[in-house]
C-alpha cells in the first residue's frame, strides 16, 4: 500500500495564514510556495471528509494568507518586549514555515517557544503534533511516533495523534498494533468512517476476511466510499470478476487520500 503521508495535517493546530502570490515576496522559494498550495488543498480535503476525528480544526487560520501573517508577526517581534506576545508570534511563524516544509525554520521558532518556562500544555501539544508531522514527512518514523505520543497526552490533540500513530503502524506493516490504536480511538470517537475503514484495511492485510466482514463492514454505511472499497478488496483478494472489478475500481470516485491510496493499491494487485 502506498504511503498515505498525511502531510495535509501538518498544521491543523495553527494560527498563521497565506497570500503566497504577494508581489515582491522573497520569503518563500518556489518549491516552498508549492508546498503551501499543496497544504491548502490537503486541508480542504480534510474538512470535506467531515469525519469526527477532525472536529475542532475548522477554525485554522494558517491556510489563506501566508505572507500577510508572516509579515504581521515579524513586525510584532520587532515592536514588543512582552514575552507572551513573542511566544505567540514564534508559534505562528514556526507553523507557517511548517506549511512550507521549511523544517529548519520551523524547528527554530518552535524551539524558541519550547525553551520558555511554563508554556501551556495546550501550546506544547500543538507544537509536538506539528513536529511529529514533519518527521513523518521526512520518513523518520521513530521520532514521529515519539512526538505523536507526546501530543496524545493532551485532550485537544489526543484523537488526531492516536489516529496518526495508527496510520504510521499501518505504513510499517505493524497491522495488529495499528488495530489496537484504532480500537482505542474508537472508544473516543463514535461513528468514524475513517477509523472503521482503516481497521478494515488492517484486517485485509492480515488476511482476516471474517474479522473484516463481522467487525468492520457490518458496522459501516454500505454506501460509504470506505465500505465500497473494502468490499472490493475482498473481491480483489479472491480474484472475483477481475475485469468488471477493475473497471468499477477505476470508475469509483474517491477524494480523500486514504481512500485514494488504497484504491491504487487494489489496482496494482489486479495488475493495472
Q: What is the pTM of this model?
A: 0.86
- pLDDT tens for the chain, 272 residues long, are 444 344 445 455 554 444 444 433 578 899 998 998 888 888 888 888 889 998 877 545 666 788 888 999 999 999 999 999 999 999 999 999 998 999 999 999 999 999 999 899 999 999 999 999 999 999 999 999 999 999 999 988 999 999 999 999 999 999 999 999 999 999 999 889 999 999 999 999 999 999 999 999 999 999 999 999 999 999 998 887 888 999 999 999 998 889 999 999 999 998 85
Q: Domain segments of the chain: what residues?
A: 1-183, 191-272
User: Which of 255, 209, 198, 258 minimizes the C-alpha distance to 231?
Assistant: 209
pLDDT for 271 equals 83
pLDDT for 48 equals 81
pLDDT for 200 equals 97
Angle, helix 83-99 to helix 66-79, in steps of 10 degrees: 150
pLDDT for 25 equals 53
pLDDT for 2 equals 41
Q: Domain 1-183 adopts which CATH fold? A: 1.25.40
Neighbours of 23 (CB within 10 A): 5
pLDDT for 272 equals 58
Q: What is the 3-state secondary structure (H, E, C) of the chain?
A: CCCCCCHHHCCCCCCCCCCCCCCCCCCCCHHHHHHHHHHHHHHHHHHHHCCHHHCCCCCCCCCCCHHHHHHHHHHHHHHCCCHHHHHHHHHHHHHHHHHCCCHHHHHHHHHHHHCCCCCCHHHHHHHHHHHHHHHHHCCCHHHHHHHHHHHCCCHHHHHHHHHHHHHHHHHCCCHHHHHHHHHHHHCCCCCCHHHHHHHHHHHHHCCCHHHHHHHHHHHCCCCCHHHHHHHHHHHHHHCCCHHHHHHHHHHCCCCCHHHHHHHHHHHHHCCC
pLDDT for 8 equals 43
Amino acid at each position: 500500500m502506498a504511503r498515505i503521508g498525511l502531510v495535509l495535517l501538518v498544521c491543523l493546530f495553527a494560527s498563521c495564514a497565506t497570500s503566497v502570490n504577494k508581489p515582491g515576496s522573497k520569503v518563500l522559494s518556489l518549491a516552498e510556495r508549492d508546498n503551501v498550495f499543496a497544504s491548502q488543498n490537503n486541508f480542504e480535503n480534510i474538512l470535506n471528509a467531515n469525519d469526527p476525528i477532525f472536529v475542532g480544526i475548522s477554525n485554522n487560520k494558517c491556510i489563506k494568507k501566508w505572507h500577510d501573517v508572516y509579515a504581521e508577526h515579524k513586525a510584532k517581534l520587532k515592536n514588543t518586549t512582552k514575552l507572551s506576545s513573542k511566544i505567540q508570534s514564534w508559534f505562528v511563524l514556526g507553523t507557517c514555515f511548517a506549511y512550507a516544509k521549511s523544517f529548519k525554520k520551523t524547528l527554530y521558532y518552535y524551539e524558541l517557544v519550547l525553551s520558555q518556562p511554563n508554556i501551556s500544555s495546550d501550546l506544547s501539544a500543538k507544537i509536538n503534533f506539528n513536529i511529529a508531522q514533519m518527521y513523518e514527512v521526512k520518513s523518520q518514523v521513530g521520532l514521529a511516533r515519539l512526538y505523536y505520543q507526546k501530543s496524545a497526552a493532551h485532550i485537544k490533540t489526543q484523537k488526531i495523534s492516536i489516529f496518526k500513530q495508527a496510520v504510521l503502524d499501518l505504513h510499517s506493516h505493524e497491522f495488529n498494533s495499528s488495530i489496537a490504536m484504532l480500537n482505542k480511538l474508537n472508544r473516543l470517537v463514535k461513528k468514524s468512517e475513517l477509523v472503521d475503514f482503516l481497521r478494515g484495511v488492517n484486517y485485509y492485510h492480515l488476511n482476516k476476511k471474517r474479522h473484516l466482514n463481522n467487525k468492520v463492514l457490518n458496522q459501516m454505511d454500505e454506501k460509504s466510499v470506505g465500505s465500497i472499497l473494502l468490499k472490493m478488496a475482498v473481491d480483489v483478494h479472491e480474484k472475483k470478476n477481475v475485469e468488471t472489478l477493475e473497471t468499477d475500481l477505476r470508475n469509483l470516485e474517491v477524494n480523500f487520500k486514504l481512500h485514494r491510496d488504497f484504491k491504487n493499491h487494489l489496482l496494482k494487485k489486479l495488475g493495472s
